[in-house]
């Protein structure tokens, strides 16, 4: 009968326990790695190409709008809060990082709204509203609880002039600071000062509470 030295048995036992421990840890390591890289999903709606990602229960989606107004390039953004905490959404929390590393901050809502009301032409307004609504109303399973439609109704109720009504409708498109309780959602246009040029290739960065969303984009409007 062959015997094994007690030291060898102890060594094999320790190795076996170590392998079992590492095998048990592998699923945890895989889950941690998978959770650290949220998947970006691409889809088309209303003639626009959207990128969307979910993180921490919050879903953010955006699309480049084909039209520019005044000196601005514009994106359409929608945010749904499926987390258990209240989130604040502001256009100032959006930025666009160019390939050379420069970062272009989004314009504050008040500055954009004032310029649209004062200077936007009727052609600008019609083009912007038509493009925005085509994308928004075509979004599958997205119903904003506090977004463009609610802002538009409130804006139109306050004015009587036909010209001002048109400008008010366009200004209602601008994303404004919004408090999203769990289950709430919003949408709006985010404006970047680009002298009327497209944003081009880069990465859209959105900060929402403790989460940061990054969307690499070729900048091509489809």
Provide the domain count of the chain.
Answer: 2
| Co-location of 172 and 64 in the same domain | yes
For residue 222, being part of any structural domain is answered with no
For residue 4, being part of any structural domain is answered with yes
For residue 114, being part of any structural domain is answered with yes
For residue 172, being part of any structural domain is answered with yes
Q: What is the pLDDT of residue 29?
A: 31
For residue 106, being part of any structural domain is answered with yes
| Co-location of 30 and 105 in the same domain | no
Q: What is the pLDDT of residue 147?
A: 83
Do the beta carbons of residue 220 and residue 178 sit within 8 Å? no
Domain that holds residue 115: 39-217
| Co-location of 11 and 119 in the same domain | no
For residue 136, being part of any structural domain is answered with yes
Q: What is the pLDDT of residue 166?
A: 65
| Co-location of 33 and 103 in the same domain | no
Q: CA torsion angle for 132, 136, 138, 140 (degrees, to 10)?
A: 160
| Co-location of 60 and 117 in the same domain | yes
| Co-location of 2 and 66 in the same domain | no
For residue 10, being part of any structural domain is answered with yes
**CB-based contacts of 128-132 (< 8 A; 24+ apart in sequence):** 128/65, 128/67, 128/69, 128/74, 128/170, 128/173, 128/189, 129/169, 129/170, 129/173, 131/65, 131/66, 131/67, 132/65, 132/76, 132/173, 132/189
| Co-location of 26 and 123 in the same domain | no
| Co-location of 18 and 51 in the same domain | no
Alpha carbons 102 and 114: distance in angstroms, whole number? 27
Q: What is the pLDDT of residue 105?
A: 97
| Co-location of 101 and 164 in the same domain | yes
List pLDDT tens digits, range 58-82: 999 999 998 777 788 999 999 999 9
Q: What is the pLDDT of residue 38?
A: 72
Residue 55 CA, distance from chain mean position? 11
| Co-location of 33 and 52 in the same domain | no
Q: What is the pLDDT of residue 191?
A: 93
Nearest to 215 by CA among 5, 19, 40, 86: 40
pLDDT digits (tens), the chain, 222 positions: 444 444 444 444 443 444 333 333 333 232 333 334 579 999 888 788 999 999 999 999 999 998 777 788 999 999 999 999 999 999 999 999 999 999 999 999 888 888 877 777 777 777 888 888 777 777 766 778 878 888 877 766 665 666 566 667 777 888 999 999 999 999 999 999 998 888 999 999 999 999 999 999 988 776
Q: What is the pLDDT of residue 109?
A: 86
| Co-location of 63 and 153 in the same domain | yes
| Co-location of 24 and 131 in the same domain | no
């Amino acid at each position: 009968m062959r015997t094994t030295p007690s030291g060898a048995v102890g060594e094999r036992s320790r190795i076996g326990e170590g392998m079992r421990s590492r095998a048990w840890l592998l699923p945890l390591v895989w889950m941690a790695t998978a959770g650290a890289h949220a998947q970006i999903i691409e889809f088309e709606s209303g003639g626009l190409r959207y990128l969307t990602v979910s993180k921490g229960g919050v879903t953010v989606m955006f699309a480049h709008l084909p039209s520019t107004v005044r000196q601005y390039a514009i994106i359409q953004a929608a945010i749904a809060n499926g987390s258990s905490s209240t989130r604040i959404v502001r256009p100032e929390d959006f930025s666009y990082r160019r390939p050379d590393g420069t970062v272009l901050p989004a314009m504050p809502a008040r500055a954009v709204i004032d310029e649209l009301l004062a200077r936007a032409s009727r052609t600008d307004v019609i083009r912007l509203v038509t493009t925005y609504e085509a994308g928004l109303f075509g979004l599958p399973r997205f119903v904003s609880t506090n977004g463009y439609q609610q802002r538009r109704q409130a804006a139109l109720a306050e004015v009587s002039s036909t010209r001002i009504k048109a400008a008010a409708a366009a200004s209602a498109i601008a994303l404004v600071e919004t408090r999203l309780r769990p289950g709430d959602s919003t949408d709006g246009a985010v404006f970047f000062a680009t002298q009327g040029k497209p944003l081009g290739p880069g990465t859209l960065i959105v900060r929402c509470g403790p989460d940061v969303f990054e969307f690499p984009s070729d900048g091509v409007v489809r």
